Amino acid sequence: MAEFNTTLKEQGDISIIKLKGYLDAHTAPVLENKFNELINNNKYKIVVDFQDLAYISSAGLGVFMAYIEKVRENQGDIKLASMSDKVYNIFDLLGFPLLYEIFKTEEEAIRKFSE
């Protein structure tokens, strides 16, 4: 049974979702619920922190694709941060860096929102 959970913290009007564990087709709905919750509360400035994410499959990457346009239509963004090389390589392989801003640290991603 894959373990996956998210924790949410707010910094001003920015929401930071921290991912932990294994994100696959089984656990992706947990992250979908988190995005739905944020969007329902009109929170569109989102940073996703990957520091504690051990694994991602395309089902996990699909979650980011599902919400990005809705978020950007509302002058927000989903910025990604602190990926391990292994996780970044999967994003890179599928061309995600063309569509998403990926930062080395959570702080850099947060700073980018105030530029």
Partner 1 sequence: MKTKKLIVKSSTENLSKIRDFISENASKAGFSKDDIDNMILAVDEACTNVIKHAYKYSPDGDIIIEIKQDKSAFTITIEDNGISFDPDIVPSPDLQKYYREHRVGGLGMYLMKTLMDEVKYNSVPGRFNRVSLTKKIKAT
Residues from 10 through 49 that contact partner 1 (CB under 8 A): 22, 24-26
The reply to whether 1 sits near partner 1 by the rule CB under 8 A is yes
The reply to whether 5 sits near partner 1 by the rule CB under 8 A is no
Distance between CA 21 and CA 27 in Å, rounded?
10
Q: Which residues contact 81 (CB under 8 A, 6 or more apart)?
A: 47, 48, 49, 50, 51, 102, 103, 104, 105, 106, 108, 109
| Least distance in angstroms from the C-beta of 81 to partner 1 | 20
Q: Which of 41, 44, 36 is nearest to 14 (CA)?
A: 44
Choosing from 7, 13, 62, 74, the residue that interacts with partner 1 (CB under 8 A) is 62
The reply to whether 92 sits near partner 1 by the rule CB under 8 A is no
The reply to whether 51 sits near partner 1 by the rule CB under 8 A is no
Length of the chain: 115
> In this structure, are strands 4-11 and 14-23 parallel, antiparallel, or unpaired?
antiparallel
Which residues bind to partner 1, rule: CB under 8 A?
1-2, 22, 24-26, 55, 57-59, 61-62, 65-70, 86, 90, 93-96, 98-99
